[in-house]
Amino acid sequence: MVSSVSTNRLTQIIEKHIEHHKKVAKLHSDTVQILQVWLNQRIQSESNKAPVVWTPERLAYLSSEWTSLRAPRDIWMALNKMEGSPISSPKSVGRQAERLGLKRYMKVLRPKGLTHEDRAEGDEYIRAGWSAEKLAEWFGCTAEDAAKWRETLLKKVARNAK
């Protein structure tokens, strides 16, 4: 037979055990509720997230075209034809290129077949204000080649002056 003392003790133990489980259940319930709120907030913030502007395809295109010296406006227009949210302006394209560390190197398009001395002399004449026609006549190249030479050198000079 079980004594009344041991019954009381057993009752106390069971009551404590029940109280403990109630607390644990409450903690679990609170934890589950907190996690549900967090998850709902997360889902909400994901759905409110701004669409992706710089997709991998756009970044690859920018990397290849930026160094080709195409005008930023032309690159911007081409990028906006690609998948993704619209890019706000050509300046945004330039800022992204800067973030990526892309550089634009000016290449002077000189006529083929000129010696190093002729190219240096022609550069001096262009800086002095010679026309493309005069260059073509002096160096014996086509007017088109002389015009490209003059145009690209003057762009490079202007860019380096900034």
Render pLDDT for 7-24 as a digit per residue (tens, 0 to 9). Answer: 777 778 877 877 777 777
The C-alpha atoms of residue 109 and residue 83 are separated, in whole angstroms, by 34
Tokens of 11: 């009752």
Nearest by Cα to 75 from 83, 84, 87: 87
92 vs 28: which has the higher pLDDT: 92
Render pLDDT for 67-85 as a digit per residue (tens, 0 to 9). Answer: 776 788 999 999 999 988 8
The C-alpha atoms of residue 87 and residue 102 are separated, in whole angstroms, by 18
pLDDT at 58: 92
Whether the model pTM is above 0.75: no
Render pLDDT for 21-49 as a digit per residue (tens, 0 to 9). Answer: 777 777 666 666 666 666 666 666 666 66
pLDDT > 90: percent of the chain: 41
pLDDT at 117: 94
pLDDT at 109: 87
Q: Reduced to 3 states, what is the DSSP secondary structure of residue 153?
A: helix
Render pLDDT for 110-159 as a digit per residue (tens, 0 to 9). Answer: 999 999 999 999 999 999 999 999 999 999 999 999 999 999 999 888 87
